[in-house]
Structure 1
Amino acid sequence: MTTISLKAAPLREGLTLPYAEAGYPGGTPVVFVHSFADSWWSFEPLLRRLPPSLHGYAPSQRGHGDADRPPDGYRPEDFASDLVAFLDAVGIGRTVLVGSSSGGVPARIVAGSHPDRISGLVLLGVPATLADKPAVAGMGEAVQRLSDPIDREFVEDFMGAMVSRPVARGLIETMIDENLKVPARVWKETVRGLLEADLTSTLAGILVPTLVIWGDQDDYLPRSDQEVILDAIHGARLLTYEGVGHVVHWEQPDRVITDLVEFVARTEPAGSPGSH
């Protein structure tokens, strides 16, 4: 398995993002973008499995994990701005972006607004929209009632809805602990930003190659939601993982890596060393 190095990227005064780096210097850069309340740890199963052809980076977003917690700036466009600043800070000229769940929203904003920096986009269980999903609205109402310290039982229940089959208990415990690091105000502001945004508009203007991966046991996202993404992004391709829930890379990390490697090989010109 690949060694993971923990580093820090200062983006601006008062905002430093810790990030995990793994893989090989000559590999194609791949930047992983986690969901709200998570941290870089969400991608530990993938980072450990990176082959020599890939060089992975997984930042913890502002307010999350051990990242700095500015008083504001928790809308999707704020996270997208941070993502571009992260690419600059660590010297990545062009990358494949992999967004999980709500992390796919800032990832696709960047893919649409900075096509010169993005060679490909992979969406792992990412919603097209949240406006038509009663379960998400109910979750949003519960988040707005949170106060510090965050109740562990709330996070355990929240995490339990993410998977449809058993995953490593150590990973789940780690992710619960990472979620508990996030202050109530960051939970509230991040979820409010997602629910108030016109998420379908963030699908406009994406011209880079796009791969959509979705588990058919996802309690949050029906197939029709994923069809909206396919209709909006020309040439986007859907891979359906049967019997898999919302967080596909926790349940099927080996398969995700295999499909990611194939996607990157199709996306990158033959012999391309990757841009750093």
Structure 2
Amino acid sequence: MAVQFETLEYDIGGTKTVVKAIGEGKPVLFLHGASTLERFDFAEGLADRFRVLCPSHPGFGFSAPAPHVAGMSDMVLHYLNLLDVLDLPEKPHLIGFSMGGWMATELAGLARERFDKLVLIAPAGLDDPAHPATNLGAVAPQELPAYLAHDVSVALRYFPDGSDPAFAEAFGADRDREGETLGRLLTPFGMGHPNLRRFLARITNPTLVVWGTKDRLLPASQAPLFVEALPNARLILVEDAGHFVMQEKPETLRKIGDFLAG
């Protein structure tokens, strides 16, 4: 059965921003990665203890196009404005996955006082040449699922299988639309910021770094670099999990929830 979300809509600086919400309790703001193909169903694993807010970035998912976005700083400003509009009753926890982890790092580095705890799940952004990320531009489309999950069948759930032409058409259109926004986001520095360690050093919030040991997209060898750069962080390595660690190993959500609730 499909996970049931509330759909909330806000006008943030002239951009329709859609937030999928589920659960009750302390708010958790989740920032997704470089696409929305895997959707937000994972949030059900936190909804027994938290009010999980899953916005689509401007130009991604359910939100409207955002032709003004020219780099990550525009996304950070967007989320500061969204927080103002949400006017939450208490400081939310902040979770960022992949590109959303990079986004969360810059956001928390600039506005750590707006958040309680932070979780970075296979975060992008560090661009350390000794631990290079996979160049997705060199990966054939049919090979992409194997880079997203160690158990490729998990990633294949989210891709067209040829049985539904309408889904395949919508899938392609969504990826094209998100890819256009992503291209503008990456124009300044690529998938990261050359001074990201300076942002990390400012994040005094308790932080959990989560990484799958079999991540072929962003290598788990980056995980200690994040933990070392953060003033108050610990690490969970998830064995036999790829980049889609929450979908591949749903029990990880219980550990994340315990960290946030502790």
TM value normalised by structure 1: 0.79
Q: 2:31 aligns with which of 21, 30, 33?
A: 33
Paired amino acid for 2:28: V
CA shift digits 1:137-196 (9 cap, x unpaired) = x33x569xxxxxxxxx73x54344111112175444589828425254323212334516
The alpha carbon displacement at 1:230 in A equals 0.7
Q: Residue 108 of structure 1: SS of its match in structure 2?
A: helix
Kindly report which structure 2 residues correspond to 1:134-145, keeping only aligned pairs within 5 A, or say none. 135-136=133-134, 138-139=135-136
C-alpha contact 2:58 2:65 (8 A) present in aligned 1: yes
Structure 1 counterpart of 2:48: 52
Q: Deviations over 1:101-130 (max 9, x none)?
A: 011111111212212210011011113512
Between the aligned residues of both structures, percent identity stands at: 25
Whole-angstrom distance in 2 between the partners of 1:191 and 1:36? 10
Matched to 1:242, the amino acid is E
CA distance in 2, matches of 1:108, 1:130: 14
Matched residues in 2 for 1:158 and 1:169: separation?
Answer: 9
Q: Distance in 2 between matches of 1:168 and 1:224?
A: 22
Amino acid aligned to 1:233: L
The CA distance in 2 between the partners of 1:128 and 1:184, in whole Å, is 17
Computed over aligned residues only, the root mean square deviation of the Cα atoms, in angstroms, reads: 2.7
Does the CA contact (< 8 Å) of 2:132 and 2:218 recur in 1?
A: no
CA–CA distance in structure 2, aligned partners of residues 11 and 97 of structure 1: 19
Aligned length: 248
3-state DSSP class of the match of 2:154? Answer: coil
Is 1:124 matched up with 2:121? yes
Cα distance, 1:76 vs. partner?
1.9
Shift of 1:250: 1.5
Shift of 1:53: 2.0
Q: Which secondary structure state, in structure 2, belongs to the residue aligned with residue 122 of structure 1?
A: strand
* 232-241 or 195-204: bigger deviation: 195-204
Of the candidates 105, 108, 118, which is equivalent to residue 102 of structure 2? Answer: 105
Shift of 1:83: 1.4
Secondary structure of the residue aligned to 1:230 is: helix
Could you state the TM-score of these two structures normalised by the residue count of structure 2? 0.83
- Residues 81-96 of structure 1: matches in 2 within 5 Å? 81-92=77-88, 93-96=90-93
2:39 counterpart (39, 42, 46): 42
Q: Which runs of 5+ in 2 are unaligned?
A: 161-166
Q: Give the match for residue 148 of structure 1.
A: none
Which sections of structure 1, spanning at least 5 residues, go unmatched?
144-152, 267-276
Query: Take 2:112 and 2:206, find their aligned partners in 1: how far apart are those partners?
Result: 10
Deviation for aligned residue 1:37: 2.4
- Report deviation, 1:97: 0.7
1:33 CA displacement: 0.3
Q: Which amino acid aligns with 2:85?
A: A
Q: What whole-Å deviation, never above 9, does each CA across 1:200-248 have from its counterpart, x for those lacking one?
A: 3332301000000100001133333111111111221100100000121
**Structure 2 Cα separation of the partners of residues 94 and 172 of structure 1:** 36
